Amino acid sequence: MNIIALLTATCCAILIFIVGAYERIYRMPKWFAHPPESFGLITPQAKKSTVFWIPAQLLFIISLITAIITNWKYPEVRWYLILAFACFAIVAGLTGGYFVREILAFAKMPATTPLTPALEKRAAQWLKWTTARNVLQAVSLGLLMIALTKMQR
């Protein structure tokens, strides 16, 4: 069971990283291309994304926790899994505490809202921190891959 949970968590992490990077590189720049008018693109895409993100992240969390529990007796693997979980916990905390709140505020903004320097800065900051979130997802994935290679020995 320990290898199955770890493989599942790794596959989920790969999927989460690829989709997250795709959204950051191709979708999100369109959301912020001409604020606040371009914010109208957020709601239709975000609704579709929710259908993917909630199940994918739940499966990832469950499989990663299962991998930690079933591999607890292997210290050379355990620490990589704990660090991967910590990275994911930071991502989840930032997502719940900042990203979701901000993107919902952007989505509710009327297209006629004046574009102020503060709004431009806020939008740029959201994109910058999204990149940091993607980096943490990559680190988490890398830690899982290291754990997986240690399991194969």
- Crossing angle of helices 117-151 and 75-94, in 10° steps, is 160
Task: Encode pLDDT of 35-64 as tens digits.
Answer: 999 999 998 887 788 899 999 999 999 999
Handedness of CA 85, 87, 88, 90 (dihedral sign): positive
Which residues neighbour 135 within 8 Å (Cβ) at sequence distance 6 or greater?
Answer: none
Strands (E), the chain: none
Q: What is the pLDDT of residues 109-145, one digit of tens each?
A: 999 999 999 999 999 999 999 999 999 999 999 999 9
